[in-house]
Structure 1
Amino acid sequence: MTRTCEPKVPIHVGLRAILDSFTFEEALSAVSHNQMASPAHFLIASREKKIISVEVSPIYTAQIKPENGVLIHTNHICAPAMQKVVVDKPHDDSYHRLKAIDKLVGSLSSDIEASDIFSLLADHDNYPDSICRHENLTKLSHENMETVFSIVMDLTNNKVSVILGNPCLRKEVYSTITC
């Protein structure tokens, strides 16, 4: 959680600008100039196997490059330079989920299917505040978060797969769309 906010471009407009872009570079440029109203994270990738993690704010923008072709991120600021200029007070479980997904991604083989990613997203380490989030009745209602959907985008094959609700409750993909 952060109180860093300025009257600039709302993050949802930034998301739309990324989706409306024709090239990786255009998508990156749409959110790379400290023009977002509040801190957010955008993962930008292309069929040409370009990928970047962009942490944005109204005062600083940071890029995180993949390690061994992999980028992971949870709900806190990860870039050290961004941490120095934007006050961030995330929920402690964000750090736990980042460590958990990092470990799980390391166990994947090189031939990854959407079902493999969904199985990672269904992980319950630190339940109910796990990667697959469930209602936590010990938290105040405004702090209680749940997974509402999971999405896997296969840019190589132009497929998007979606599971509505918690991925642990679905044994099959809700929908796969070829774009």
Structure 2
Amino acid sequence: RIGIPRVIVSRAVLGAGTPAEAIRHMVAPHRAAGYNHLLAHGSGELYNVEVSARRFGLLYAHEGYLAHTNHYLDPAMQVLEKDPDERIDSRVRYFRALRLLRHTPAHTVKSLQAIQQDHINFPHSICNHAEDLHDPLDREKTITALVMDLTARQLHLAWGNPCENPYHTYHLEAA
């Protein structure tokens, strides 16, 4: 659809001063397409905003954490999925991530990185390896993994599969 490109929307989100302003940018009415946006604020507010070109769903972290994989979670967005059965691997990753998040009462950067390196359901695990040769055009792979410590203002980023690549720490300046 013709409209505001996703990268322009994402840049506007980064410049927002409040969570509500960021969400308004994410769901701008004339967007060409959508992203899944995970919005974390230093105050502890945590939102997941699922966006398509014409719809959006807003999810809130009631228990202090969110997990998201490659399928819609919001019922208003789920109607857009033509064949929900094709996202079984994504659903397995989602429930695995939730279990691992709930298993530890207080997470650290290291415990969150360990979740990103999980290989249950390999090669379609949380740390996803494009080793399924059935349909090369339909393969998925983890291309980055990141953990952001909002209190310390640090971003820990691994390029590629986090089981094979180190996390690099970036120090973020206050806006």
2:97 matches 1:97: no
| Contact 1:34–1:57 under 8 Å retained in 2 | no
Report sequence identity in percent.
28
Structure 1, unmatched stretches of 5+, are: 1-5
CA RMSD of aligned residues (A): 1.8
What is the alpha-carbon distance in structure 2 between the residues aligned to residue 140 and residue 178 of structure 1? Answer: 40
Instruction: Name whichever of 26-35 and 71-80 sits farther off.
Output: 26-35
Instruction: Name whichever of 32-41 and 71-80 sits farther off.
Output: 32-41
Structure 2, unmatched stretches of 5+, are: none
- Higher RCO (C-alpha under 8 Å, 6+ residues apart): 1
Matched positions, count: 170
What is the alpha-carbon distance in structure 1 between the residues aligned to residue 132 and residue 56 of structure 2? Answer: 36
Kindly state the Cα deviation for residue 34 of structure 1 after the two structures are TM-superposed: 4.1
Kindly state the Cα deviation for residue 79 of structure 1 after the two structures are TM-superposed: 0.2
Kindly state the Cα deviation for residue 82 of structure 1 after the two structures are TM-superposed: 1.9
Counterpart in the other structure of 2:11: 16
Counterparts of 1:58-73 in structure 2, within 5 Å, are 58-73=53-68
> Quick one: structure 1 residues 38 and 87, their matched pair in 2 at CA, closer, same or farther if it must change by over 3 Å?
farther
| Contact 1:34–1:60 under 8 Å retained in 2 | no
2:127 matches 1:118: no
Q: Output the TM-score relative to the length of structure 2.
A: 0.88
Q: What secondary structure is seen at the aligned counterpart in 2 of 1:91?
A: helix
Residues 87-136 of structure 1: CA distance to partner in whole angstroms, max 9, x if unpaired? 354532111111110111111232x2211111000111110011001121
What is the alpha-carbon distance in structure 1 between the residues aligned to residue 61 and residue 132 of structure 2? Answer: 36
| Contact 1:33–1:61 under 8 Å retained in 2 | no
| Contact 1:34–1:61 under 8 Å retained in 2 | no
> Quick one: structure 1 residues 98 and 88, their matched pair in 2 at CA, closer, same or farther if it must change by over 3 Å?
farther
